[in-house]
């Protein structure tokens, strides 16, 4: 177990190091000069030279890479050229809102996808299986921004069941101000007992969470179905049936646990994909998360912010993938031998 853990940690460190190198290269090859973006095109040569010195651009590339890596180890992601604040501070304010949205979406996707996959495997080649497969394929293939706009137009604009956009009703900042502890509005409103903002947030969450959950739910349903069908054709399931266990027991008691391994392995990938995929969702629903911050950074060619978002998403994926590997190794000891 210790050798397996060390090997996975070593792989994770190698991936993060590669991402650090990649983000450094991207910042140097993107057209435009960060010094000019910081001081403005009308700045004097002295101001431009000072800005290049402050950013360390007057040093050789190996030294710049070394300083960049050392700064990252100390949590220094640079200063945003757009907000003129530390990128670490900006990400700390924006990322929790995205985690809130994506986390709720993944939970909803699991609650829908796993039972749907089990149902499809139990009744494979029947009408229930066909319906689940068609719907899961639609959920995977429908463009995110189109689905978001359709839900917004139908349930918000025409029916008026849910708010059109935003995190919660803005007037509540005056009548029920929220005390910030975690930058996750849902959690902060629960901690402080701010029920007006909590209920308003739930209303605003419904539509974007459904959009975020669509793709993961389709992937999880298809993968659960495939994994269970493969598992129930193994020799051990034939033995369990011969011992008198019902088909339900064979499916849920004996086959479900090993079948969840591929589902768990794809969970980290789907979560990381959803964080990136939510950029469009946040733009449509005006959700104040990482996506909105990334869009503003791209529009303003804010290379430190773009690199910070890239590092954060990549590191999140690596950490989640490591956690999934550890969970898999505890669920199925055979994983440690892979």
The reply to whether 82 falls in a domain is: no
Question: What is the distance, to the nearest Å, from the Cα of residue 117 to the centroid of all Cα atoms in its chain?
Answer: 22
d(CA 254, CA 180): 46
The reply to whether 287 falls in a domain is: yes
**302 and 167 part of one domain:** yes
**125 and 49 part of one domain:** no
280-322 per-position pLDDT tens digit: 888 888 888 887 788 878 777 777 888 888 888 888 878 877 7
Residue 223, pLDDT > 50, answer yes
* Structural domains in the chain (count): 2
Give whichever of 10-14, 147-151, 178-182 has the largest mean pLDDT.
Answer: 147-151
**323 and 176 part of one domain:** yes
**61 and 174 part of one domain:** no
φ/ψ of residue 206, rounded to 5: -55, -55
The reply to whether 87 falls in a domain is: no
d(CA 264, CA 255): 15
**213 and 324 part of one domain:** yes
**251 and 314 part of one domain:** yes
Q: What is the mean pLDDT of residues 249-265?
A: 62
Question: Which domain range does residue 38 map to?
Answer: 2-73
166-220 per-position pLDDT tens digit: 888 878 878 888 888 887 888 888 888 888 888 888 888 889 999 988 888 888 8
CATH number for position 243: 1.10.3720.10
The reply to whether 217 falls in a domain is: yes
What is the helix (H) or strand (E) element at residue 335, kind and residue range? none
pLDDT in the model for residue 141: 84
Note whether 264 and 327 are within 8 A (CB): yes
Q: Which of 122-131, 166-175, 236-245 has the lowest mean pLDDT?
A: 236-245
The reply to whether 78 falls in a domain is: no
**7 and 103 part of one domain:** no
Which residue pairs from 39-43 have beta carbons closer than 8 angstroms and sit at least 24 positions apart in sequence? Answer: none
**164 and 281 part of one domain:** yes
Residue 254, pLDDT > 80, answer no
**112 and 52 part of one domain:** no
d(CA 165, CA 282): 9
**127 and 255 part of one domain:** yes
């Amino acid at each position: 177990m210790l050798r397996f853990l060390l090997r996975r940690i070593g792989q994770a460190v190698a991936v993060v190091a590669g991402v650090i190198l990649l983000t450094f290269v991207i910042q140097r090859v993107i057209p435009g000069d960060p010094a000019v973006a910081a001081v403005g095109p009308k700045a004097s040569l002295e101001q431009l030279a000072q800005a290049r010195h402050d950013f360390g651009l007057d040093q050789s590339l190996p030294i710049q890479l070394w300083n960049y890596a050392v700064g990252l180890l100390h949590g220094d992601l640079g200063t945003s050229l757009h907000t003129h604040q530390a990128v670490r501070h900006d990400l700390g304010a924006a990322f929790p809102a995205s985690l809130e949205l994506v986390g709720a979406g993944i939970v909803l996707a699991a609650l829908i996808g796993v039972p749907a996959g089990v149902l499809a495997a139990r009744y494979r080649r029947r009408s229930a299986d066909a319906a689940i497969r068609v719907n899961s394929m639609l959920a995977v293939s429908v463009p995110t921004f189109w689905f978001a706009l359709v839900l917004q137009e139908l349930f918000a604009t025409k029916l008026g069941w849910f708010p059109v956009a935003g995190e919660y009703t803005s007037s509540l900042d005056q009548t029920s101000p929220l005390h910030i502890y975690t930058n996750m509005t849902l959690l902060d409103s629960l901690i402080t007992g701010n029920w007006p903002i909590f209920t308003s947030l739930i209303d605003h969450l419904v539509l974007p969470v459904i959009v975020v959950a669509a793709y993961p739910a389709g992937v999880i349903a298809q993968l659960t179905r495939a994994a269970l069908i493969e598992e129930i054709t193994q020799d051990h399931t034939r033995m369990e049936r011969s011992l008198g266990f019902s088909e339900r027991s064979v499916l849920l008691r004996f086959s479900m646990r090993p079948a969840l391994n591929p589902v768990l392995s794809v969970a980290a990938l789907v979560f990381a994909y959803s964080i990136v995929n939510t950029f469009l969702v946040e733009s449509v629903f005006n959700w104040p998360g990482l996506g909105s911050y990334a869009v503003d950074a791209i529009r303003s060619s804010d290379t430190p912010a773009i690199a910070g978002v890239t590092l954060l998403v990549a590191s999140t994926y690596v950490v989640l993938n490591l956690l999934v590997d550890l969970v898999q190794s505890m669920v199925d000891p055979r994983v440690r031998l892979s």
